[in-house]
Structure 1
Amino acid sequence: MKRKHRKKERDLDYSHYLHPRWWPTWLGVGAMWLMARLPLGMQWKIGKLIGELAWRFIPQRRHIAETNIRACFPELSDNEQRALVRKAFHSNGIGLMEIGVAWFRNASDFMNITRVHGLENLDKARAGGKGVMLLGGHFSTLDLGGCLSTEVIEADVMQRDHNNPLMNAVMTRARQRRYGAVLDSKDLRGLLKRLKANRTVWYATDQDYGRKGIVFAPFFGIPAGSITATSRIAERSGCAVVPFSHFRRDDKPGYDIYFHPALENFPSGDDLADATLVNQAIEREIRRQPDQYLWMHRRFKTQPNRDDPAFYGKKRKR
């Protein structure tokens, strides 16, 4: 008889992490806390330097980003593609610095440099009374963008737990201070319960989760494994699906948050059409600030045919 696998409960009690083996993680957390106290402009400079070092010395991730951007932006010249890859590393380096800000600072400190667009779209969706799924993407402002959003809306969030239990405790406790509930990414029952209570839940679908429960829908014109769970959840709950994005401004320290009109005729009953609509909504937001997307993720790892050549192949020699 097969033993049922049960997910290990989150241990959020800091007193359980006093053993010396956790000290390196505590040092890292302490460094994040200290860096979060620096002026935002200085944090951006340090983050850009981190991104530059990653671009130079992590060739595997650079290769993934180059492959993605070459495929998604064929209209750009080789030089423009290379510049976009480098800028993406800079943006994601800044994003690492912003994690500390999101976890250890008060979001209200930054609302004077934050602009919120389309809040009326969310209000209209919530008026339906069946909950709202905020359709997000993995932008470099992931943590801080969500943190700033909770200054103007009440929301819950779904997260993939960190592999390091202590880091997961720090992350989850920080998010619990911002959000009404922090749900595990696989807790669909909890998600449906929150939607039934007319809650707004942030849900990101734009990564490659393998071959299970997907269709291959175009993303930047490329067939990408896209989950069908978004349609299933919307069908079962009757919730509205509102595209949501957040970006760092280029000209000076500041942020923009966007709530767009809810997807129409969703779900349609056609999984491929629904996944295409979702991908189009995310793609539109990426094109707004393409360098601020997580291009280091292997979005096209799962290919339509198992015998197809690996999308990312072997790391190219320089």
Structure 2
Amino acid sequence: MTTITTFALIALFQLLSLLPIRLLRCFGALVGRFLWLSGGRARQVTEENLAICYPDMPPAERVKLAQSSLQHLAMTALELAPVWQRPVADVMATVVEVEGLAEFRQALAADKGLIILAPHIGSWEVVGLYLAEQAQISSMYQPPDNEAIQQLILKARSRNGANLVPTDTSGVKALLQALKKGEMIGVLPDQVPPLEGGGFAPFFGVPALTTTLIKKLAKRTGATVMTASALRVEHSGKFRLVFAEVSEDVAAADELLALTVLNQSVEQCVALAPEQYQWEYKRFKKQPGGERKYYQNK
């Protein structure tokens, strides 16, 4: 990316941050409609993932869900501008409801460490800001190649005290230390990890390479594990935050059991608002035995 392109992108980003979130969602709906009509990779992967995960859903219903999903995908992208650029208090004012708050606060008060799983649904960036307002939090971060974009993201995500650590051994050690101090960490549980950092477990009944990091951290520290999702409230510029407890089996010695519980916790988040999940991500791109079964030519 050239310097001029980077400058233009950041300028556009700052301009978008001035617009109401509700208006940006309207724009996102239009962009999502274009993504559908263009028939590109985003639509193809979304349709394939929905066919994989909801094989019994009537085709017409899956089409409707796919169309809505692409609209929410565009909304997620456009919402980044105000969520990253506006004062934290302004972003927090968009959170109009918090479900499971008592359980979340109880887990924090236990002082034995808290692992928050934030799947790719709704606005996980809002989740991050909200958590940092409640207590000290450390989260893994993989910087982009562009230095200017990297600084933009770092400033946005750490502006209310979040500690960002690298996605390497030193980062894992930092997360472990934070949990041992009774602090909170945030992890994205539904990304495809490297083969050496994961194991296969069912996700919507289909084998998916799943991170073992959460199981290892929970087992070693005894930390509580919860999910957190910031879901869009329809016809508004607001969010509804939902916390849910995850079974202690997420730290089970049986790896398959632990990873299955982890994936089930993500499935439960998806069930809250399937259209807001990031279905265009190639979650099943790696399969047991190294076979390429899905996303052919995508």
TM-score by length of 1: 0.86
- Give yes or no for contact 1:108–1:151 (8 Å, CA) kept in 2: no
The correspondence for 1:310, drawn from 282, 287, 293, is 293
Structure 1 residues 195 and 62 mapped into 2: Cα distance closer, same or farther (>3 Å)?
A: same
Counterpart of 1:283 in structure 2: which amino acid? E
- 1:144 alignment partner in structure 2: 126
Offset at 1:270?
0.8
Structure 1 residues 117 and 140 mapped into 2: Cα distance closer, same or farther (>3 Å)?
A: closer
Q: Secondary structure at the residue paired with 2:241?
A: strand
CA distance in 1, matches of 2:19, 2:247: 40
Q: Secondary structure at the residue paired with 2:202?
A: strand
Offset at 1:52?
2.1
Structure 1 outlier segments of 4+, above 3 Å: 110-113, 148-154
- 2:16 alignment partner in structure 1: 35
Offset at 1:206?
0.5
The correspondence for 2:217, drawn from 219, 233, 242, is 233
Task: Check if 1:158 corresponds to 2:140.
Answer: yes
Task: Check if 1:204 corresponds to 2:185.
Answer: no
CA distance in 2, matches of 1:263, 1:92: 29
Structure 1 residues 154 and 258 mapped into 2: Cα distance closer, same or farther (>3 Å)?
A: farther
Task: Check if 1:55 corresponds to 2:39.
Answer: no
Task: Flag the structure with larger Rg.
Answer: 1
- Give yes or no for contact 2:246–2:265 (8 Å, CA) kept in 1: no
1:242-292 alpha-carbon deviations (Å, 9 max, x no partner): 121111012433111112124324411111100000100110110111111
Counterpart of 1:227 in structure 2: which amino acid? T
Q: Secondary structure at the residue paired with 1:125?
A: helix
The correspondence for 2:7, drawn from 20, 26, 30, is 26
CA distance in 2, matches of 1:198, 1:272: 27
Task: Check if 1:107 corresponds to 2:88.
Answer: yes
- Give yes or no for contact 1:65–1:297 (8 Å, CA) kept in 2: yes
CA distance in 2, matches of 1:103, 1:113: 13
The correspondence for 1:65, drawn from 24, 29, 46, is 46
1:59-78 alpha-carbon deviations (Å, 9 max, x no partner): 12211111100111122211
Unaligned ranges ≥5, structure 2: none
Offset at 1:112?
4.2
CA distance in 1, matches of 2:216, 2:134: 28
Aligned positions of 1:1-318 closer than 5 A: 21-57=2-38, 59-114=40-95, 115-186=97-168, 187-306=171-290, 308-315=291-298
RMSD between superposed Cα atoms in Å: 1.9
Offset at 1:38?
0.9
Q: Secondary structure at the residue paired with 1:305?
A: helix
1:176-235 alpha-carbon deviations (Å, 9 max, x no partner): 103430122331011112212221111112121242232211111111111211111112
- Give yes or no for contact 2:132–2:162 (8 Å, CA) kept in 1: no
Aligned length: 295
Unaligned ranges ≥5, structure 1: 1-19
CA distance in 1, matches of 2:144, 2:83: 16
1:133-165 alpha-carbon deviations (Å, 9 max, x no partner): 101101241223322444445433222222322
- 1:16 alignment partner in structure 2: none
Offset at 1:58?
5.8
Counterpart of 2:141 in structure 1: which amino acid? Q
Counterpart of 1:120 in structure 2: which amino acid? A
Structure 1 residues 56 and 145 mapped into 2: Cα distance closer, same or farther (>3 Å)?
A: farther
CA distance in 1, matches of 2:91, 2:2: 36
TM-score by length of 2: 0.92
CA distance in 2, matches of 1:96, 1:169: 18
- 1:9 alignment partner in structure 2: none
